[in-house]
Structure 1
Amino acid sequence: MKRGIGKLAFLFGSARLSAVLLLLVLLGVRVLDPLVVELVRLKTFDFYQTLKPRDYQDLPVAIVDIDEKSLAELGQWPWARTTLATILQNIAQAGGIAVAFDIVFPEPDRLSPDQYSKSIGGLSQTLKDELAALPSTDKIMSDAMRRTRVVVGQAGGVDFVETGRPKQSQTPVALLGPDPTGVMFNYPKLLRNIPILEEAAAGKGLFSIYPDPDGIVRRAALTALADGQIQPALSVELLRVATGQNAFAVKSDEAGISGLVVGGVEVPTDRNGRIWVHYTPSNAERYVSASDIVSGEFDVTRIKNHLILMGPSATGLLDLKATPLDPAMPGVEVHAQILENILSQSFLTRPNYALGAELIATTALSLLTVLLVPILGALPVLAFGFVLAASWVAGSWYMFASQKLLLDAGYPLFASFCVFLLLVFINYRREEIQRQEIRSAFGQYLAPDYVEQIARNPESLALGGERRNMTVLFSDVRNFTKISESFADNPQGLTTLMNRFLTPLSNGIMEKRGTIDKYMGDAVMAFWNAPLDDNNQEFHACQAALIMVERMRAINLERKEEAEKEGREFFPLNVGIGINTGDCVVGNMGSEFRFDYSVLGDSVNLASRLEGQTKAYGVTTLIGNNTARTVREKLAVCEVDLIRVKGKQEPERIFTLLGDEAYAGSSAFREARSHFETMLESYREQDWERAKSLCAALIDLGNSDFANLAETFGERIERFAKEPPPSDWDGVYVAETK
């Protein structure tokens, strides 16, 4: 080994070898990321936020503040729950959209008459009975909660005393990707509210915030594992409740969590489900004193159409957080700023490639020093190094200021300066072979992938109301209401079932370059050709539909085997899919407090109507004429009918999608399609007897893909044979339902 080191020293020079070894050590230290390195990096990011905080915007977020003024006027905390009921009532009357408590109510109100009578000694039994007969203040508060949308706070921890109360149902969550629980923050226990309040609440959210090692709150988990269940953060749950969504979604990949979807908004996160909070300085305009809400003497516009967070800023209530901009920011304002980040899409992001970029910068600066010192000498290299360092710092600052990306400027400078000092002290020699190694190292650097280019350059996406020719897909699970009823006593099981089929269906769409617009319970809406161009959009949409159908079959086979083993009734999941292509408007749509990237247009409505008609025709997939015109020569497509759907005057020629290219070329499909097209021709010519016999013949072929169609038309032909359509009938069938 000594001989090998000596040979390297001879070939490369002892100074260079020492510098490279030091660089490797420094790279290893950066990969291990000890606490001191992490803290220096975090302080750098704090400095950036101090220099350029987020601009304050008048967003529809307000804080009802338990401040010093409120404590002086309403008394010490905790207040009677009747006071809180009054606050909720006045917020609702002022037009507040939803309220979230950055507070937990784990015990009954000690000021409630029934509790008060137990805590005060010396009362007569008669007086105790009279107090106990008065309405409970917890009941009064729960009644007020039911009259508006309220999210109660919950706290995660490790040492809460078990209450023995039964667990309340939690917010449903859709998992889009691998199980993310292994990378989530995990609170072994959960401090809950008393049952009467949790049952009245529209949602429950975690307000616990885990600070960085130096006690500063820079990042906040939007979801965490608490008491064994995936829980949303308070801000996420408030947004979900305010927008009327039934669930939120967690997107994950092999690296961990990549983002959350709530209220139609996708929020990028780190692998642990956290966002970097982009702070503004604390602003009094966010706050309305709780005492003013109680008295009714407040500006209604500060509450109307706002999302309300209620929590304390009073120093004695000990809910102050250290942030990069404020050593004592009220915790409730931290939640408000998280919500503002989501609503304004103003996210600070430390991209997945950040560590790689910083390691490359460290390597580049250090190796350039190793290369140039023998050529230029120490002082010119010091000047040149200063220019490089300034360029890196400027680049890091530019990425923060303009792109909101967090790249560490400090460690590459520190590491390269250490290498420079080592070279100066050793007075190394120039070696051409070392220069070639540097060039070889630089030749191995990889450019960011296409998705990262979009993340760094969002202006390359045309957003905000662009007219495009697009393909839209709607899917819905048949008879899901009946299936849901079987889970009446097991809501968690229903959530698991939804995750089980929504994940593979969603993956099928995304594998074929589709964009998922939204989830509507068990239904999925997706589109193609936005935000990125897709010149083969119709084909990709149809391929996605075939994948979805095939994966649903596989899920049903697994569920059937499970049901047979467990001795319970099996309810199959059957999906209906509608696809249509046409001109649409795509962009950011919604209101000032909630918006998402979505698509609108008559073609979208027709796709939805086609999905609704799949059940009537007994087929899995129906596609519009524009879509079929493009794919009918490639895929197994057959014309079904000429139909006037509900809400449209012009008829649409509709088709069914039955299989891929291989099935399209099979003799079984071609023979059945020929029979059906002949039957359709007789039907439109009102030759009822011939059409009826062709339906029977089609059923006799034994092709299950056409059997349901034949039965549907057979029933329709029977009706027309008894009650013929008018003489000017044009063959258009008028759909009576959506």
Structure 2
Amino acid sequence: MAEDVSKQQKKPGRIRKFFSMARLVGFLLLLGLLGVQVINPYPVEFLRVKTFDMYQRAQPREVKTRPVTIVDLDEESLATVGQWPWPRTIIADMVANLFRMGAGVVAFDIAFPEPDRLSPNMIADNVSGLDPSIEETIRQLPSNDAYFANIIKQTRVVLGQAGFDRKIEDQVHRPPVKKSIAFRGEKPHAFVPSLPSLVRNIPEIEEVAAGHGFFSLFPEPDGVVRRVPTLFQYENEIYTGLAVEMLRVATGRRTILVTSNELGVEKVAIAKGLILPTDKKGRVWPHFSKRDKAKYVSARDVLSGVVDPAMVRGKLVIVGTSAVGLLDIRSTPVEETLPGVEVHANVIEAVVDNAFLSRPPNMDGAEFLLTLFAGLIMIILVPMIGAKWTLVLFLFIAGGSGASSWYLFSEKKLLFDAGFAMISTLGIYIQLTYMGYAAEEAQKKQVRSAFSHYMSPALVERLAEDPGQLKLGGENREMTLLFCDVRGFTSISELFDAEGLTKLINKFLTPLTNVILQRQGTIDKYMGDCIMAFWNAPLDDPNHQRNGCLSALEMIDSLVAVNERLEKEAEEEGRPHIPLKIGIGLNTGTCCVGNMGSDQRFDYSVLGDSVNLASRLEGQSKTYGVTIVIGENTYRNVQDLACIELDLIKVKGKTEAVRIYSVLGDDQVAQKPEFIEYAKHHATLLKDYRQQNWEKVREDIKTAHQMIDALGMEHHGLYDLYEERMIAYEAEPPGENWDGVFVATTK
């Protein structure tokens, strides 16, 4: 019976142990990460596509066939023929030459939205003073556009059209061109991007063309063209992209077939064997190749007839430009600068070589499950078997997931992202490891605090003379309290093992302690890297405020030699060096000081509200960007030192505001004319600040920065804090009756 009760008691204990705080936080973190993965915000999508970009850079598509030839309006062509736009007669002659050389289809990655300005009738309209008979003769000549249209009518030409994702006010509306699309399943209009503006060609040439295709490319937010639209929507009508239309015309098909369902577009079929897998918006994800100059011919050479006919015969020819001045340079996953015309060539090559990348809808589910299972493994095993072995397990999972992602890309052309799952799993691992470490450190701190109380030499001498003082109780005395803490000690401690960290603490606590003891101070306790000390007990010290402040200044100076020594040791040991910097808080007030504890174990210590305030002031030194912060009671007795007022602040845990100051130097610094001028300027700045004269404060801050630079001081953070608060007060004014008090929300 007793054994059954014992088992029942152990079972709830095991359950509570399993659902520890670290695991509960891990579960919540995992749920949050899964929610982010489902929502898929831009940063997540950005990391995903950058991973796929990295794959394509590592293994760009190998060019196996070249079904496309690009007629390049390059710099040499522009230098020979003249600046763009060229007369349509020249373009028509170029098209005629291409078809004489056996071109299959000729497409334009440019549009002709306006009549040719060099047509005879345009010249007659724009040239004044012509003889009427000459003007009549010129007007009877056929226009350049008619000449171009006649060539297009006899050949298979696909004209380009430009869509814009913004409204063009002076856009000319024309009737839509003839349709060449059939639909299977759901109509894709809800998914295909709708463009507010469309730039077409002039009707004279557009009506006789064999096809019409959009050549617009819309880079993603980072400026990279990854996915190329095959379908566009304008005024509730669906149109095809340039590459798709070229393939339709080349295969002699009257229509293409768009298949879609309730989730979006699935594919675009042109002919048997020519199928483009798309995402739900009708975009294809071509596997890009590096720039292929072998598929380019110069427009100048086409016009002069010196092009190798093999470059044109049976090819799909795209007329485009690589000239920088014509602004058609794009960025792809494998090339930072690529002519936009070659992007269309990549799409056609991907169709012919079946080299499209694909990301089926089930990939989202697979990535979700990977995040879920990997996260659960970490949550279960990290507290159970420890951080070291679960790190090995994490590396195994990450390596396997990354290898699987690469295999699917390189062998199957499938895009599977393991990056988010691994980053999420690593985050959960770090969270669990940190919380385990923090819990362990909390236990160590409890043990350490029991043995961290040391008596000062002065107290030892006094107790040796009068052992009767070893009794519980104390006395009220006016005292000056000091708290000193090392800034960023957590980051510094990570550079050392336990033994090295102990040595480090001893190296800087020793000189700091010596300074305090030399100034008649008493060390109350060491708390890791923190020192608590006081003056005017157990020995009387009529100058305890001054000794406390001078000790603080000397403690700062003593760290110079310590940091030089530590830097040299770090260089010899080949590890980084982080300089030690401290923050100090000083306060004066009445406290109860004496032997505190029990009959068996007690220590000489101090209690009182003034002690708590001194600790709070040390914490504020980081906030105010200064090393030393002192209270008003301390300041009253050290006004011969180089002091400035910092603020009127209500510290955490206090109901009344206190005026706080900083000690920047000893009495010699205080007598320097530069400091006297600076102190007056600082007092004026505070006055303007409390009167909410913000514009004047801004000018005061600029001058203050210059003054402290001249004095060789490093207190720019103080004025950055004023400026930050001032901006907040400008947004939400504190009111006309504001007394200048700032309420601190942190210790």
| TM-score for both structures, normalised by structure 1 | 0.56
1:68 aligns with 75
The verdict on how the C-alpha distance between 1:314 and 1:124 changes in structure 2, with shifts beyond 3 A counting, is: same
- Report the Cα distance in structure 2 between the residues aligned to 1:218 and 1:7, rounded to whole angstroms: 52
Counterpart-to-counterpart distance in 2, 1:44 and 1:252: 28
- Does residue 240 of structure 2 align to residue 232 of structure 1? yes
**Aligned mates of 2:229, 2:204 — CA distance in 1:** 28
* Partner Cα distance (1:406, 1:150) in 2: 35
CA contact (8 A) 2:66 2:295 kept: no
Aligned to 1:90: 97
Shift of 1:405: 0.8
Q: State how far apart, in whole Å, the 2-side matches of 1:424 and 1:122 are.
A: 89
Q: Name structure 2 gaps, 5 residues minimum.
A: 1-12, 439-747
State the partner residue of 1:651. Answer: none
Q: Distance in 2 between matches of 1:249 and 1:25?
A: 41
Aligned to 2:677: none
Task: Mark the runs of 5 or more structure 1 residues left unpaired by the alignment.
Answer: 1-5, 430-738
CA shift digits 1:259-288 (9 cap, x unpaired): 011133221111110111210001111111
- Displacement of 1:308: 0.8
RMSD: 2.0
Q: Which amino acid aligns with 1:180?
A: P
Deviation at 1:341, TM superposition (A): 0.7
- More divergent stretch after superposition (198-207 vs 11-20): 11-20
Q: How does 1:372-391 map to 2 (within 5 A)?
A: 372-391=381-400
1:361 deviates by: 1.1
Q: Is the 8 A contact 2:65 2:349 kept in 1?
A: no
Match of 1:111 among 118, 126, 148: 118
- Which of these residues, 22, 35, 48, is aligned with residue 28 of structure 1? 35
Shift of 1:96: 0.5
1:350 aligns with 2:359: yes
Q: What amino acid is the match of 2:309?
A: V
In structure 2, the CA distance between the partners of 1:9 and 1:108, relative to structure 1 (3 Å rule), is farther
- Post-superposition shift, 1:302? 0.6
Preserved CA contact (<8 Å) 1:13 1:428: no
Q: SS at 2:207's partner residue?
A: helix
CA separation of 1:271/1:168 partners in 2, compared to 1, >3 Å: closer, same or farther? Answer: closer
The verdict on how the C-alpha distance between 1:18 and 1:179 changes in structure 2, with shifts beyond 3 A counting, is same
Alpha-carbon displacement from aligned partner over 1:178-200 (angstroms, at most 9, x marks no partner)? 11100111112221100011111
Matched, 1:340 2:349: yes
Counterpart secondary structure, 2:357: coil
Match of 1:422 in 2: 431
Q: Residue 276 of structure 1: SS of its match in structure 2?
A: strand
Runs of 4+ off more than 3 Å: 6-11, 120-127, 161-166
**Structure 1 CA distance for aligned equivalents of residues 335 and 46 of structure 2:** 17
8 Å contact 1:100–1:153 — kept in the other structure? yes
Give, in whole Å, the separation in 2 of the partners of 1:368 and 1:120.
82
Equivalents in 1 of 2:257, 2:421: separation in Å? Answer: 37
Which residue number in structure 1 is paired with residue 418 of structure 2? 409
Tell me, in whole angstroms, the C-alpha distance in 1 between the residues paired with 2:15 and 2:344.
57
Instruction: Give 1:288's match in structure 2, choosing from 284, 287, 297.
Output: 297
Q: 1:167 aligns with which of 175, 193, 201?
A: 175
Q: CA deviation at 1:375?
A: 3.1
Relative distance call for 1:7 and 1:27 in structure 2 (3 A) is: farther
Match of 1:155 in 2: 162
Of 277, 283, 304 in structure 2, the residue corresponding to residue 274 of structure 1 is: 283
CA shift, 1:400, in A, is 0.5
Aligned-partner residue type, residue 176 of structure 1: R
- Residue of structure 1 in register with 2:212 after alignment: 204
Report the Cα offset of residue 121 of structure 1: 3.9
Q: Give the deviation of 1:166 after TM superposition.
A: 3.8
Q: Which residue of 2 aligns with 1:368?
A: 377
Cα distance in 2 between the residues matched to 1:168 and 1:378? 66
Q: For 2:26, what is the secondary structure of its paired residue? A: helix
Partner of residue 199, structure 2? 191
In 1, the alpha carbon distance for the partners of 2:232 and 2:299 equals: 30
3-state DSSP class of the match of 1:375? helix
Q: Distance in 2 between matches of 1:353 and 1:36?
A: 21
CA distance in structure 2 between the partners assigned to 1:192 and 1:272 by the alignment: 23
Q: Which moved more, 1:240-249 or 1:207-216?
A: 207-216
Which residue matches 2:660? none
What secondary structure sits across from 1:336 in the alignment? helix
Kept in 2, the 8 Å contact 1:168–1:199? The answer is no
Counterparts of 1:8-19 in structure 2, within 5 Å, are 12-19=19-26
Q: How does 1:221-620 map to 2 (within 5 A)?
A: 221-264=229-272, 265-427=274-436
The one-letter code matched in structure 1 to 2:271 is G
Once residues 21 and 276 of structure 2 are traced to their aligned partners in structure 1, the CA distance between those partners, rounded to angstroms, is 51
Structure 1 residue aligned with 2:497: none
Distance in 2 separating the partners of 1:132 and 1:67: 33
> Aligned equivalents of 1:173 and 1:9: distance in 2?
64
Question: 3-state SS of the aligned residue for 1:186?
Answer: coil
Question: For the residues of structure 2 that align with 1:217 and 1:373, how far apart are their CA atoms?
Answer: 42
Instruction: Tell me how far apart the structure 1 counterparts of residues 129 and 236 of structure 2 sit (CA, whole Å).
Output: 45
- 1:486 alignment counterpart: none
Aligned length: 425
Do 2:65 and 2:353's aligned partners in 1 also have CA atoms closer than 8 Å?
A: no
| CA contact 2:171–2:198 (8 Å) conserved in 1 | no
Partner Cα separation in structure 2 for residue 121 and residue 22 of structure 1: 78
Q: Residue 287 of structure 2 aligns to a residue in which SS?
A: coil
* Cα distance, 1:98 vs structure 2: 0.6
1:220 matched to which residue of 2? 228
Q: State the shift of 1:298 in Å.
A: 0.5
- In the alignment, the residues of structure 1 paired with residue 81 and residue 203 of structure 2 have an alpha-carbon distance, to the nearest angstrom, of 26
Quote the Cα distance in structure 2 between the aligned partners of 1:359 and 1:73: 58
Between the aligned partners of 1:40 and 1:75, the Cα distance in structure 2 is 45
Conserved 8 A contact 2:188-2:264: yes
Range with bigger deviation, 147-156 or 109-118: 109-118
Question: Are 2:77 and 2:300, in contact at CA under 8 Å, matched by a contact in 1?
Answer: yes
Deviation track 1:711-733 (CA, whole Å, cap 9, x = no partner) reads xxxxxxxxxxxxxxxxxxxxxxx
Tell me the CA shift for residue 329 of structure 1.
Answer: 0.7
Conserved in 2, the CA contact under 8 Å of 1:170 and 1:231?
A: no
Which has the higher Rg, Structure 1 or Structure 2? Answer: 2
Deviations 1:58-90 (A, max 9, x none): 322111111111101111000000111111111
Tell whether the 8 Å contact from 1:188 to 1:228 is kept in structure 2 after alignment: no
Match of 2:691 in 1: none
Q: Give the drift of 1:427.
A: 1.7
Q: Is the Cα–Cα contact under 8 Å of residues 168 and 198 in structure 1 kept in the other structure?
A: no
Residue 13 of structure 1 aligns with an amino acid whose one-letter code is S
